[in-house]
Structures are given as C-alpha cells and as structure tokens.
C-alpha cells in the first residue's frame, strides 16, 4: 500500500492524537504480510476480539476466516490475486476505543525486528465517532460511524494486475498516487520528491528506457533499506532499454 500525506497548501498538517492505553481498547483490526505470533501475543490484550488479516501460502493454506486456538484472535486469509504476482502486504491497524478510533499505517510488519530494531515510519490519526449503532458490526461497517472529514492523509491501494486505459491505471498504485498529488497540490506544482522504504524491488521484464531509469534512480536515491533490485528479463526482446544514461544514474 502506498501512502500519500494530504497537505494543506502542500504543507504537512500536524497530527492530532488522544492519550490512551491498551486497557481502554475495545476491538482491533491488524494486517500484515507476516506475523510473529509468539511476540505479538505478548503485546495484545487477551479480553477483547482482535482480527488479524495476513498473507497466506496458497500451496499450504486456504482462504477463509479462522479462530487461532487458545487465543482471542480471529485470523483472516483474504482473497489473493490470481495473477501469480504480488501479495497481501497491507500494514494497517484500526484500534477502536469508546467514542473514537485510531488509524495506524506503518511500514513495518508484525515481527519484533521491524518494531524493535529496524528503521520504519508510522502515521497515526484519531477519528471521533459520530453515530454508534449499539450492535456488533463487521469492521468494514464500523467505519461509516466515524468522522473522517479532518483526515490528514489519503490511503492508496496497490492491487496486482494489468490495467489498461488511463482511468483504470489511476485506480491503484502509482497511477492513483499521481492522481492524489495533482488533486492535493494542483497540476502546476513542481515535482514532489518521494522517499521510499523498500527492501526488495522486482522489475523483471519491465520496459525501462533511459528516462524511466533516471526517474527510478531519483526515487531510490534516498532509500536506505533496499538490498535487492531485479532488472532481469526472461527473453532478449524483453530486455530493458536503460542504455548507458539510465544505467549510469542507477549506479550512482
């Protein structure tokens, strides 16, 4: 999931947070690529329902909803793309308290290394409830009860697939990110520099020309976590077209 900060006059608005503790937590939804259960269970309360959605191995596991034995965890294996590429990599938390909800978007997955050792980023904002139904709702239905009018960010989904046509390309990923930047800052603003937090980037069989190579180099220039970049191809006619100009920029 890409994350674009919604800015007022292209300046980051200050976050508003409520003081809280886990003792006041009523429900929670967490999602991640992977989970270290032994570590995570020591961080969560045991007396409330917690829903966790994570990626799963289609060769060993199945899509569905499961109760994690001897815990208060409802485990969700969401539908995966049938394109054989991509994975469920959302890192979203929805923490429900009396009268308000905390939204957390993090760059780390639910393992101790990402939260105790590695460098990651996190966005937090609290939203007040506007209408409580008084009944137990599906988490998606709960969201309509909260006031998001003062949201300081826009969430941009990345869904694997091949998208044709300008409008379809603007629905997800970088296309959606470009659309949001134009909506927030206007079409005539100078190019906004974007920092990335990536450990691996696979661009296999991608048509990269010198200009795209230069743009990629610019985007990766401030990345301090990348340790694997795949620019290979399966066939000669699919080889990238970086040429010396694009290759030089990537090697700097």
Q: Which residues of 230-244 are buried (b: 16+ CB within 10 A; e: fewer)?
A: ebeeeeeeeebebee
Q: Which residues of 162-195 are buried (b: 16+ CB within 10 A; e: fewer)?
A: eeeeeeebbebbebbbebbbeebeeeeeeeeeee
How many other C-beta atoms can be found within 10 angstroms of the C-beta atom of residue 213?
22
> What's the rounded Cα separation, in Å, for the pair 226 and 152?
28
91 is in an annotated binding site: yes
> DSSP label at 117?
I
User: How far, in Å, are 128, 178, 216, 249 from residue 209 at the CA level?
Assistant: 48, 20, 10, 12
89 is catalytic: yes
Chain centroid, CA 53 distance in Å: 13
**SS3 category, 79:** coil
Within the chain, residue ranges assigned H as helices are 37-40, 112, 139-142, 166-169, 173-185, 210-220, 243-251
**SS3 category, 5:** strand
Catalytic residue among 2, 77, 89, 138: 89
Largest Cα–Cα distance in the chain? 64
Active-site residue numbers? 89
């Amino acid at each position: 999931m890409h994350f674009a900060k919604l800015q007022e006059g292209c300046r980051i608005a200050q976050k508003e947070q409520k003081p809280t503790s886990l003792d006041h937590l009523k429900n929670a939804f967490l999602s991640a690529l992977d989970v270290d259960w032994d570590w995570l269970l020591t961080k969560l309360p045991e007396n409330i329902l917690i829903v966790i959605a994570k990626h799963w191995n289609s060769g060993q596991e199945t899509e569905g909803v499961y109760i994690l034995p001897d815990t208060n965890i409802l485990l969700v294996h969401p539908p995966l793309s049938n394109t054989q590429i991509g994975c469920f990599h959302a890192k979203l938390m929805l923490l429900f308290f009396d009268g308000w909800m905390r939204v957390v978007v993090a760059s780390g997955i639910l393992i101790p290394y990402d939260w105790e050792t590695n460098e990651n980023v996190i966005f937090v904002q609290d939203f007040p409830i506007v209408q409580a139904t008084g009944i137990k709702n599906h988490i998606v239905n709960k969201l309509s009860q909260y006031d998001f009018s003062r949201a300081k960010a826009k969430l941009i989904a990345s869904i694997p697939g091949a998208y044709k046509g300008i409008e379809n390309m603007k629905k997800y990923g970088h296309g959606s990110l470009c659309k949001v930047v134009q909506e927030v800052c206007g079409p005539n603003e100078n190019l906004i520099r974007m920092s990335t937090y990536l450990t691996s980037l696979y661009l296999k069989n991608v048509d990269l020309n010198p200009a795209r190579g230069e743009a990629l180099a610019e985007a990766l220039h401030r990345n301090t976590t990348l340790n694997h970049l795949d620019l290979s191809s399966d066939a000669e006619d699919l080889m990238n077209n970086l040429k010396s100009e694009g290759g030089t920029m990537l090697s700097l």
